[in-house]
């Protein structure tokens, strides 16, 4: 009898050990123009999956299952990305989808998720357009692009003397167009005069004409919505042409170590925003807290995490929480659980609104003495903003 029981126990344990993993699939920019940011998502997905698996994996009903990860390189090509998501569902048979970086990719790729009725949780696209289509299977961990400059503009109204005129520049992609649309309304409500409102081509390398117009308008503040390579080109050319407004702020780049390394001392004075800073106050089920997570990330990957990394990890954690709440890997049940999910993470409180988007306030930051310094959040200054900016070369 004991031998029979031992045999049955061994069979049961073996079956549990060989339980089919829950597979997450993603197409990410690992090469091409935006690979520098795309790597955050690959690393975030792998880091989160490794940590969750080390803690036992995901509990599906009464069964503990490991998580498998399938990541493809879309080479920064939107059309290839769409084909790869079709492949992930049709050929690779992944259970759920994680997103790429950048709103224009998410806009295209989420249509594959919607058509197949499989949830996609993404942390790389913030454009309001993503959530304006009534899709039910897309969930995102970045706040609305239309409010990205919200904290910055609010802070500007409290400066003494406050800026009077603003130049707004934005790239012609989905994210930056959404930023510009929201920023126009924010500037109008704040009583700030827009003296320049210009769209430029994505991946632009020559900002000389726009900088000349900024000089001629004598704009007090310059707000730029664009990707990191564009922002770097803008700053370098602003210095070479000696265009130095009292304040300038960018949607991306400023919180990252890459930005400071690329510009050196010329990064000082640049303002931006972030939905995440590595605070020990942000508690997490798998990483302990955000501060410990940041140290572990740096040790593992050799570079500092920014909000892209935290957002990417949050997408994996959201799916795991939803699967456990549903007690199933059925796509519809997990989709419904995602709509109800609410949990604390190293990224902050994760809960999706009825459109599938998270709401996290942006903190205005500025690079001072080669460090990212939080400046303004929740209606109050945290540290003193360098304003007006010193001339180029005085840092």
How much is the pLDDT for 395? 60
Chain length of the chain: 395
Pick from 276, 256, 258, 272: nearest CA to 148: 272
Question: Burial code of 369-382, b = ≥16 C-beta within 10 A, e = fewer?
Answer: eeebbbbbbeeeee
**Other Cβ atoms closer than 10 A to 285:** 15
How much is the pLDDT for 19? 79
How much is the pLDDT for 11? 45
Per-10-residue mean pLDDT of the chain, 395 residues long, equals 49 55 98 94 98 98 97 98 98 98 97 98 97 98 96 97 97 96 97 97 92 97 94 96 97 93 96 96 96 98 96 98 98 98 96 95 96 95 97 79
Pick from 205, 345, 258, 255: nearest CA to 39: 258
Beta strands 120-122; 58-60: pairing state: unpaired
Pick from 133, 190, 140: nearest CA to 164: 190
Of the CA atoms within 13 Å of residue 148, those in its CB half-sphere come to: 27
The DSSP element (H or E) to which 395 belongs, if any, is none
List CB contacts of 54: < 8 A, sequence separation 6 or more: none
pLDDT tens across 345-375, in order?
Answer: 999 999 999 999 998 889 999 999 999 999 9
How much is the pLDDT for 76? 97
In DSSP terms, which residues pair with 289 in a beta bridge? 283
Decide: 242 and 212 in contact? Cβ < 8 Å.
no
Token couple for 123: 């942390």
**Other Cβ atoms closer than 10 A to 192:** 20
What's this model's pTM, rounded to 2 decimal places?
A: 0.91
**Cis before residue 159, ω within 30 degrees of 0?**
no
Asked if the domains at 2-143+279-351 and 147-274+362-381 fall in one CATH topology, the answer is: yes
Report the Cα 112 to chain-centroid distance in Å.
Answer: 21
The DSSP element (H or E) to which 238 belongs, if any, is helix 228-240
Distance of alpha carbon 95 from alpha carbon 222, whole angstroms: 44
What is the DSSP annotation of 164-180? Answer: -EEEEEEESSHHHHHHH
Kindly list the domain boundaries of the chain, sorted by start residue.
Answer: 2-143+279-351, 147-274+362-381
Name the 3-class secondary structure at 261: helix
Distance of alpha carbon 63 from alpha carbon 159, whole angstroms: 57
Topology annotation, domain 147-274+362-381: Rossmann fold (3.40.50)
**Cis before residue 335, ω within 30 degrees of 0?**
no
Domain at 2-143+279-351, CATH from 1.20.140.10, 3.30.420.270, 3.40.50.2300, 3.60.20.30: 3.40.50.2300
Distance of alpha carbon 78 from alpha carbon 125, whole angstroms: 13
Burial class (CB in 10 A: 0-12, 13-18, 19+), 289: middle
- What's phi and psi for 273, nearest 5 deg? -145, 160
Decide: 126 and 148 in contact? Cβ < 8 Å.
yes
List CB contacts of 100: < 8 A, sequence separation 6 or more: 26, 27, 28, 29, 38, 41, 74, 81, 106, 109, 122, 124, 125
Of the CA atoms within 13 Å of residue 169, those in its CB half-sphere come to: 24
């Amino acid at each position: 009898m004991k031998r029979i029981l031992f045999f049955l126990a061994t069979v049961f344990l073996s079956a549990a050990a060989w339980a089919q993993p829950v597979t997450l699939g993603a197409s990410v920019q690992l090469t091409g123009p935006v690979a520098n940011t795309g790597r955050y998502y690959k690393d975030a997905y792998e880091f989160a999956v490794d940590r969750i698996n080390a803690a036992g994996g995901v509990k599906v009903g009464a069964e503990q299952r490991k998580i498998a990860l399938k990541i493809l390189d879309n080479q920064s090509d939107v059309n290839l990305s769409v084909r790869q998501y079709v492949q992930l569902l049709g050929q690779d048979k992944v259970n759920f989808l994680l997103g790429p970086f950048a709103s224009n990719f998410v806009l295209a790729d989420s249509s594959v998720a919607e058509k197949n009725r499989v949830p996609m949780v993404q942390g790389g696209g913030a454009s309001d357009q993503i959530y304006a289509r009534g899709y039910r299977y897309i969930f995102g961990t970045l706040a609305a692009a239309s409010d990205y400059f919200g904290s910055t503009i609010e802070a500007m109204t409290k400066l003494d003397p406050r800026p009077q005129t603003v130049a707004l520049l934005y790239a012609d992609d989905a994210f930056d167009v959404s930023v510009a649309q929201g920023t126009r309304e924010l500037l109008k409500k704040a009583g700030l005069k827009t003296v320049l409102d210009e769209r430029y081509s994505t991946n632009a390398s020559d900002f000389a004409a726009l900088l000349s117009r900024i000089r001629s308008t004598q704009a007090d503040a310059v707000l730029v919505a664009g990707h990191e390579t564009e922002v770097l080109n803008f700053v370098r050319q602003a210095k070479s042409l000696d265009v130095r407004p009292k304040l300038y702020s960018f949607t991306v780049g400023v919180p990252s170590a890459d930005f400071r390394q690329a510009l050196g001392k010329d990064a000082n004075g640049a303002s931006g925003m972030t939905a995440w800073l590595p605070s020990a106050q942000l508690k997490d089920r798998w990483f302990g807290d955000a501060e410990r997570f940041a140290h572990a990330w740096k040790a593992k990957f050799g570079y500092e995490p920014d909000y892209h990394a935290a957002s990417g990890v949050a997408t994996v954690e959201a799916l795991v929480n939803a699967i456990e709440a549903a007690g199933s890997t059925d796509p519809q049940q997990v989709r419904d659980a995602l709509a109800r999910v609410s949990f604390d993470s190293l990224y902050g409180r994760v809960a999706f609104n009825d459109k599938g988007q998270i709401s996290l306030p942006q903190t205005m930051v500025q690079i001072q003495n080669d460090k990212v310094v939080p400046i303004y959040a929740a209606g109050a200054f945290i540290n003193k903003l360098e304003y007006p900016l010193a001339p180029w070369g005085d840092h």
